[in-house]
Structure 1
Amino acid sequence: MDNFDLNLLRVLDAIQRHAHLGRAAEELGISQPSVSYALKQLREHLGDPLFVKVHHGMEPTPRTRELIPVVQSILGEVRERILTTPGFDAKTARRTFTLAMSDVGEMVFLPTVLNEIAKEAPHIDVRTVSSDPKDLMAALQRSEVDLAVGYFPDLQGGDIFQQRLFRHGFVCLVRSGHPVLKSGLTRKNFQSLPHAVVHAEGRSQEIVEQFLRAKGIERREMLRSPHFLSIPMVIATTDLVVTVPAAVAEVFAQFADIKAVEPPYPMPSFDLKQHWHRSQHHDPGNQWLRSLVLALFGDGENGHAERDATA
């Protein structure tokens, strides 16, 4: 193999099909002497004349007839699997996409994504994972995760592409009938009312906590929980207040009798994005998935995908 030029297989195939050195050379785009020299090399490598001259052209030897199906199979595999850009037909594709999302991200994104996939790609399955930022970077590099959707400030580096979907802010939630719905949530009662504080894997909650600490704003943290799942029922049945991303509040309001109120402070906002690794950038399936997510959640101001600016 070290001394064998695989291009010689193309020459062998062309001579066999045309039974003529000149016509084989014309197809290959090389001179007839080059074809003759290639045939000489093949004969030396394989220890067989391969073709003999007859009155109507070049007659393959038994050894050549034995080799031709193998050669054509190899050339076909190269054309179809290596040189042909793979396509992705959503209607017929069978594949499992792995999405990295926090539990908050699943609430916001997953139902809409699954409904659209069910319509557009009926044989596509979805798996979600939640990983430590360092583990997530490695999983993207190994193509174990196709797309990370949400707030992932730790996903940085020249191998990571990102695309903005929409800008996100925070609101406060209280039960229906809560007294603050009449008077409004003031800075005074924001600090005096009991709060539920979620310390979950969703890094967006850190934005609120950092803002309050920077402003020196204190509140009574009556409940500290690592879970978002219990929050709607807690808020609906108590006088507690919770501060959550606006899209999460919309989801919670579908399942509990709670209301959103504006915070009394100018809370920060942040961008939700989709992230993927350079190794997946040209994959047709990944491109389709990114287009679907962008169409569903993009606010029209996202622009083009770009590599991380910190690289």
Structure 2
Amino acid sequence: MNFVDVDLNLLRVFDVMMRERSVTRAATELGRTQSAISHSLSKLRFLLQDELFTRHGGEMRPTPRAMELLSDISTALATIRASIDRHQVFNPATTRRNFRVGLTDYHAMTLIPGLIREFSRQAPNATLNVIPANGPEIGSSVYLRQVDCALTGAAIRDDPSLLRVELGQDRLFCAVWSGSKIASSAMTLETYLASSHLQISADGIAEGLADAALKQMGLRRNVVATISNYLVLPWALRGTELITHCGDAILQILDEKSEVTLIPPPLAISNVNAWLIVHRQMANDPGTKWLRDVIVGIYNGSRARDAKGGPSKALERRVFYE
């Protein structure tokens, strides 16, 4: 293979395919036909002497050779894009760009309403996709440009290619059904340990911050079930004596109809960090910077409302404070 034989547009196809993992979606993003994308892939496979992508179900998965090429090709394209963007003004009011945000189930509940409203107001011609960002693998999604940025509380391994900004911290509470015996009084460690627990884990398996705190004390709780999202929390707790944990940001969406009472835990548990993650190569991209500012503004606005007003009147009767 000689460099003069390489059509640089083929590298754009490779870069988009690494994000989309789909010929159909890559064609849509690049404004080309599926057959044109398939033809470009054939050229790339011939030039690079590798299959590059293999089909697994409905997804085109990259080969080890493709993963090896990703960093160099994406870096080169990002450098070219940044050089061009420096001389252009990004205008959210006129852009037709598609943006992708990775959100955990927890952050999605509290941020999506405000995010959609503000995104639609500022960028009426753009489109937004909210992608599940549950678990440490979200770092890979940012690295592979499958999302423009992600907001997560998961522990992300240190990676020099990822920029992490801590937006804030949420305090963990015990959540119980408001009609339970536990909800009628402050919780003791004895009651906590004697009760059955519901664990909310992004992958439906992993332990939580409460388990880590208990291990340091030589104790463990009785987890009888694990679920993967917060959306079903009111229904999962209703009519039970179960205890689970959730951050205080959930106060924004709970009302009396949820029948959920929040109680401070009888042990010290680490707060949940909110990390905004973006690929360093895209940190100065005007569109990405705008999207980050929108998310940061919504997050800070919600925390400011919490600090100023605290729980609503409807919640004051259902939250026990120390």
TM interval, shorter chain, is: 0.5 to 0.7
1:257 corresponding residue in structure 2: 259
State how 1:192-207 maps to structure 2 within 5 Å: 192-201=194-203, 206-207=208-209
State how 1:265-280 maps to structure 2 within 5 Å: 265-280=267-282
Contact 1:108–1:248 (Cα < 8 Å) also in 2: yes
- Give the 3 Å change call, closer, same or farther, for CA 275–250 of structure 1 in structure 2: same
**Residue 231 (structure 2) pairs with residue 235 (structure 1):** no
SS in 1 for 2:90: coil
Q: CA RMSD in A?
A: 3.0
Contact 1:143–1:280 (Cα < 8 Å) also in 2: no
Equivalent-residue separation in structure 2 for 1:272 and 1:286 (angstroms): 18
- Pair member with larger Rg: 1
1:186 corresponding residue in structure 2: 188
SS in 2 for 1:167: strand
1:158 corresponding residue in structure 2: 160
State how 1:15-164 maps to structure 2 within 5 Å: 82=84, 85-130=87-132, 136-164=138-166
Per-residue deviation, 1:273: 1.6
Unaligned 5+ runs, structure 2: 5-82, 305-322
Could you list the per-position Cα deviations for residues 115-146 of structure 1 after superposition, in whole angstroms to 9, with x for gaps in the alignment? 21122222222112236867544442343310
Using the aligned pairs only, state the percent identity. Answer: 19
Equivalent-residue separation in structure 2 for 1:285 and 1:83 (angstroms): 10
Equivalent-residue separation in structure 1 for 2:206 and 2:108 (angstroms): 14
- Structure 2 length normalisation: TM-score? 0.61
Could you list the per-position Cα deviations for residues 136-158 of structure 1 after superposition, in whole angstroms to 9, with x for gaps in the alignment? 44442343310011224224222
Residue type at the aligned position of 1:182: S
Contact 1:151–1:203 (Cα < 8 Å) also in 2: no
Equivalent-residue separation in structure 2 for 1:136 and 1:199 (angstroms): 15
SS in 1 for 2:219: coil
SS in 1 for 2:268: coil
1:218 corresponding residue in structure 2: 220
Per-residue deviation, 1:91: 1.4
Per-residue deviation, 1:109: 2.2
SS in 1 for 2:249: helix
Equivalent-residue separation in structure 2 for 1:256 and 1:83 (angstroms): 47
Could you list the per-position Cα deviations for residues 172-227 of structure 1 after superposition, in whole angstroms to 9, with x for gaps in the alignment? 11122322333211111111122211232399963222222222233322323334
SS in 2 for 1:237: coil
Equivalent-residue separation in structure 2 for 1:201 and 1:227 (angstroms): 9
Contact 2:136–2:155 (Cα < 8 Å) also in 1: no
Count of aligned pairs: 222
Unaligned 5+ runs, structure 1: 3-80, 301-311
